[in-house]
Structure 1
Amino acid sequence: MDNLSFLVFLIVAGVFQILMGANDGGVLLGSIISSNVIHPLFGVILLFLSLTVAPLVFGTEVVKTLGTKIVPIQYITLPMLYGAIIGTMIWVIIAQRIKYPVSISYTFVGALVGSAIARKVHTQINTVEILKVFGGLIASIFIGLIVSYLLTKIFNLILRLLTPKASPFFKIFQVISSIFLVMGYGANDAEKTLSLVYTASMISGVNFAVNPKNIFVISLLSFLFIVGTLFFGANSLLTAGFRLMKSNPKETFLAQTITSATVLTFAQFGLPVSSTETLNMSVVGIGVAEKPYAVKFNVVRNLVLTWLVTVPMSILISYGVSTIFITILK
C-alpha cells in the first residue's frame, strides 16, 4: 500500500513539476530570449542542462530546508504532502488564469504551514526557519529592485567613458548571465519538487530518492519542467519578457546577473527564494533607472497584489485540501 501511495504521489509531483515549468519556466525563458540574442531553441536546451547540473554543482540545501526543517520529518505524513502539493497547484493555476506568474516558493511554504495546521502539528513548525525563509524571500525582492537600480546608474556612468563599441560585448555577457540565471533557479527554486520526492521517499520507506542528488530523479524533473515551459508557459514568458519592459542585452545581462547572484547566495544557506520575483523586480529597477516611461507599472501593480495574497491564500487552500486527504487516507 505504501508503494502504491508513493507511486500515485510521484505522478502528482510530476504534474506539479510541469506546472512549475509553466509558471517559472516561461519567466526564465522570457528573460533569456526577450533581447533576441539567444535563439529560443538554444534557450530551451540551456534551461534543461542547467536545471540538471545545478543541484549537483551548488548543492541541495534547499531540499533539506523544505523537506525537514520547516516541519520536522517525523511529523510529516503523505496526506500532508498531498495537501501541500495540491494546495500549491490550485493557487498557481488560479494565478495562471489571470495571466500573472506567482511565487511558487511563497505558495509552497504557505502550503506546508497549512497542511501542518490541518494535521494539528502546527506547534511543531520551526518558526525560526519560517521567519528565515520569508525574510529571505522578501529580501531577495528588494535586492533585485534596489541593486538593479544602483548598478544600472553605475554602468551607465562607466559606459559614457568607454567607446560605443563596448556595448556589443553585452550580447556575449548575456549568454553567460543566462546560464547562471538558470543555474541559480536549479539550485534554489527548482528544488521544491525534489524536496517533495525526497521527503515522500523517506516517510514511505521507499528506496527511490533517499539521496537528493539522484541524477535520474533530477533529470526526469528537468524534463517535466521543460514540458511545462513549452506547452503552458506562454503567459509567464510574456510577463517577464515583454509585458514589464522590452529589454536590450545590457539590461537583460544586469537583471540576470543580479538575480543569479542573489539566488545562488541564498541557496548556499538553504533558503528558498523566488527567482521569478527577483528577476521581475530587477527588470523594474533597471527600468526605473534607465527609462521609467517604458515600465508598465499597471503590470507591476498587479504582480505585487498577487504576491501579497499568495501566503494567506496558500495556507487556507492547503488547509482545506490537507484536511480532506488526512480524513480519507487515515
Structure 2
Amino acid sequence: MGVTTLLVVVIVLAIAFDYINGFHDAANSIATIVSTKVLTPFMAVLWAALFNFVAYFVFTDHKVANTIAKTVIEQFITLEVIFAGLVAAISWNLFTWYYGIPSSSSHTLIGGFAGSGMAYAVFQGINPIEAINLSATLKIVSFIIFAPLMGMIISIIITLIIINICKKARPAVAERWFKILQLVSSAGLSFAHGGNDAQKVMGIIATALIAQGVIGTFEQMPEWVPLACYAAIAAGTMSGGWKIVKTMGTKITKVTPLEGVSAETAGAITLGITEHFGIPVSTTHTITGSIIGVGVVKRVSAVRWGVTISLLWAWILTIPVSALLGGLTLAVIHYIL
C-alpha cells in the first residue's frame, strides 16, 4: 500500500471511528431524556446530534485535540502506528457497543494509539515506555477517577439546591417545568460532548498529517478536519446506541425529570471545565458519575451498585485492552509488510 493511500485510509478510519463514537456515546446525551419520556428516542437523537455539531462553531481552541496528538512521542509516530491504533479502538468500541457496555470511546482511542506506539518502539529496540508522553497520559488516566467523581459531586449539589428551591412547588407543576428544562440540560450535555469528543479524532488526523509531512505543526491543521469530525460525530449520534441507552437510562438508577436535569447539567459543567484545561475525559464516565450522584441523593440503595461495579471494570480494562489490541495490530502489520 502506497504512503498516500495509507494516509487516506487512516483519515477515513479516523472519521469512521468518530461516527462510531457518536452512536456509541449517543446514550450519554439522551439516556435520561428518553427514560423520563421527555422526547421519543428518534427526536432525542436528532436533538443531541444538532448540538453535537453546533459545538463546531464554539470550540475553536482545539486544546483537547492537541493533548491527544501529544500522547505518543513524535519520533514513534508513523502512519502504520496510527492505523493500528484506530483498528484497535474501532474493534473495542464495536465489541462494547454490541454487549451494551458504556465504555469510554476516548480511552479506547488513547489506549489503541499508545499501544501501537509502544509496539513500534519495541520493534526499534527501544524501551516502550519511552514512546509515551507520560505527563499527558497520566493526566488522562487520572480522570478515569476524577471525571465521574466531579460529575457525581456536582450533580449532588445541583440536586440538593433544586430540591430546596422547589420544596413548596406542586409536584405536577414542578415535573412539567423540569421536563422543559431537560431539553436545555440535554442540549448542553450534547454540546459539551461534541466539543470534547470530536476533538480527539481531530488530534489523530492532525498527527497523521504531521507524520506524513502534509503540515508542519498542529496549529496548521486544515479547517476541513474539525468540520469533518463534528459532522461525523453528529451523524453517528443520529444512529443512536439503544443498548447503552437502556443501561445508562434505567439500569443504574431510576431517573425523574428533576434528576435528569441535575445529571445532564452536572455532566455538561464537568465536560466544560475539562475542555477548558485541555483534558480529554470520557463523556461516558462523566454522565455515569452524574447519574450515580442523583441516585445517592434519594438514598444510597437507589443506585444499583452491582451494575455500577460492572461498568467500573469496563472502564479500568478499556485502556490496557485497547493498548494490547493496538500493539498486536501493529505486530501483524510489521510481520506481514
TM-score, structure 1 normalization: 0.88
Q: Residues of 1 paired with 2:169 and 2:300: CA distance?
A: 24
Residue 151 (structure 2) pairs with residue 144 (structure 1): yes
Counterpart amino acid of 1:149?
I
C-alpha deviation, 1:256, in angstroms: 0.6
C-alpha deviation, 1:153, in angstroms: 3.0
Matching residue of 2:332: 324
C-alpha deviation, 1:328, in angstroms: 4.2
Counterpart amino acid of 1:132?
K
Residue 138 (structure 2) pairs with residue 131 (structure 1): yes
Matching residue of 2:64: 62
CA contact (8 A) 1:140 1:274 kept: yes
C-alpha deviation, 1:271, in angstroms: 0.5
Residue 269 (structure 2) pairs with residue 248 (structure 1): no
Counterpart amino acid of 1:62?
V
The 3 A distance-change label for structure 1 pair 280 and 86 is same
CA contact (8 A) 2:28 2:283 kept: no
Residue 183 (structure 2) pairs with residue 183 (structure 1): no
The 3 A distance-change label for structure 1 pair 10 and 93 is same
C-alpha deviation, 1:162, in angstroms: 4.6
The 3 A distance-change label for structure 1 pair 60 and 31 is farther
2:179 to 150, 158, 171: 171
Q: Residues of 2 paired with 1:278 and 1:213: CA distance?
A: 30
Q: How many residues align?
A: 326
Matching residue of 1:88: 89
Q: Residues of 2 paired with 1:124 and 1:218: CA distance?
A: 27
Counterpart amino acid of 1:247?
V
1:45-56 equivalences in 2 (<5 Å): 45-56=46-57
Residue 42 (structure 2) pairs with residue 13 (structure 1): no
1:239-259 Cα shifts (integer Å, max 9, x gaps) = 122222332221111001111
Residue 9 (structure 2) pairs with residue 30 (structure 1): no
C-alpha deviation, 1:62, in angstroms: 0.6
The 3 A distance-change label for structure 1 pair 171 and 65 is same
Q: Residues of 2 paired with 1:189 and 1:14: CA distance?
A: 12
Counterpart amino acid of 2:212?
S
C-alpha deviation, 1:301, in angstroms: 2.0
Instruction: Tell me which moved more, 9-18 or 74-83.
Output: 9-18
Residue 283 (structure 2) pairs with residue 283 (structure 1): no
CA contact (8 A) 1:80 1:325 kept: no
The 3 A distance-change label for structure 1 pair 222 and 31 is farther
Q: Residues of 1 paired with 2:219 and 2:47: CA distance?
A: 28
Instruction: Tell me which moved more, 197-206 or 38-47.
Output: 38-47
C-alpha deviation, 1:39, in angstroms: 4.2
The 3 A distance-change label for structure 1 pair 82 and 177 is same
Matching residue of 1:113: 114
Counterpart amino acid of 1:317?
L
C-alpha deviation, 1:166, in angstroms: 4.3
CA contact (8 A) 2:92 2:322 kept: yes
2:241 to 216, 229, 233: 233
Q: Residues of 1 paired with 2:118 and 2:131: CA distance?
A: 10
C-alpha deviation, 1:66, in angstroms: 0.3
C-alpha deviation, 1:231, in angstroms: 4.4
C-alpha deviation, 1:179, in angstroms: 1.6
Q: Residues of 2 paired with 1:291 and 1:300: CA distance?
A: 15
Residue 110 (structure 2) pairs with residue 103 (structure 1): no
Structure 1 residues without counterparts, runs of 5 or longer: none
Structure 2 residues without counterparts, runs of 5 or longer: 122-127
Compute the RMSD of aligned alpha carbons: 2.5
CA contact (8 A) 2:155 2:265 kept: no
The structure 1 segments of at least 4 consecutive aligned residues displaced by more than 6 Å after TM superposition are none
Residue 308 (structure 2) pairs with residue 300 (structure 1): yes
